[in-house]
Amino acid sequence: MHKLQCLNISKKFLTGCYMGTMQQLAENSYWRDSFKDQLTVAYKDSLLSSVLTDSQKTQHSGVLLDGVVRDRLEVFGKDKLRIKSNMIAKQSSREKSRLIESVDRRIVHFIFNPGQKSKISPFTRKLVKLMEGPAELEEFEKQEAEAFELYCEGIAKEDEEVTDPIVYGLNPFYELELKSLHRLAFAVADNPFMKTDMAKYYPEVHVIHADGKVDSSIGPNKRSDPSYGSSVYVESFRDDRLKINDDRKVKLTLSDFDTNHNAMLLLTVRMNDIKGQAASAQ
C-alpha cells in the first residue's frame, strides 16, 4: 500500500513536470523547426545570391541610367548654348536694325568716294542706252554683236591687227554694288520728325524688262502683284513711341524676282497732288 502511494505521488509529479517542461520548451522555441532549418540553411544561400544578383543589376542599371542622363545633359547643354548664341545674334541683329527706335543712338553709314573713276559695268553700259530709249538699246546690242563676230573671225584668221570692240570706259556715275541681300524696303517720310496731316511723297517700284517694257509697278495704285507675292506696298505704320519715322514703303523680297533674270528694279519717289492722292498710273 505504501508503495502504490509513492508511485501515484511520483506519477503526478512527473506528469506535471513533463507537461511543464514540454510547455516551457514549446514556448521558448527550444524544439527544432524543420522549416526554419530549411530557411536558415537551404534557402538562405539562394536568397542571398538572388539579392546579390538584383543589387548588381540595380547597380548596372544605375550606371547605364547615369550615362544616358549625362549624355542627354551634354546634348541639352550644347543645344542650349547653340540656341543661346542664336538668340544673342538675333537680338544683336534686331538691335542694329531697330536702332532708329533709340532715343540717343543712331547708325550712320558712310560711303567714301576714292576720287578714282571706276570702269563702267556691263549693266551700266546698257542702262545708259536704255535711258536713251529701247530702240537705241536694241541698235547698240545689234552693232556690238556684229562687231564681236568680226572680232572672233579675225582671231580665227590669226589677224594681228584685230582689237576687241567691246570697250569698258570710265563710269560716268557713282556706282556701288550690294550683295547678300534677301529683303529690301524702299521707304519715304513726309517729315523725319513728325507725322504730317497731308501725305506728300510715296515710293514706287517698277519691274522693267531688258527690252524696256514695264512688267509691273508696285505702289499706292497697285499695292501688290500676284507674280511677286510677298512684295507689297504698305503705309500707316508710323509709330512715334517707337521712333519709326517713315510713312510709306515698298517691301521687296528679292527671291520673288529669281525667275526674271532679265529684269531691272527701278525705285522712284513721286509726289502726291494737292489732294494728297497718288498720281494715276500712265
Mean pLDDT per 10-residue segment, the chain (282 residues): 70 70 68 64 71 80 78 82 87 67 63 78 84 86 89 82 84 76 82 76 85 83 85 77 71 80 81 63 46
pLDDT score of 282? 45
Backbone phi, psi, residue 116, to 5°: -110, 130
Domain positions in the chain are 98-174, 183-271
Question: What's the number of CA atoms in the CB half-sphere (13 Å) around residue 81?
Answer: 5
pLDDT score of 158? 78
- What's the rounded Cα separation, in Å, for the pair 222 and 207? 13
Strands in the chain per DSSP E: 183-188, 201-209, 214-218, 224-225, 228-235, 248-253, 263-271
pLDDT score of 226? 85
pLDDT score of 274? 57
Instruction: Return the C-alpha cell found at 249.
Output: 514703303
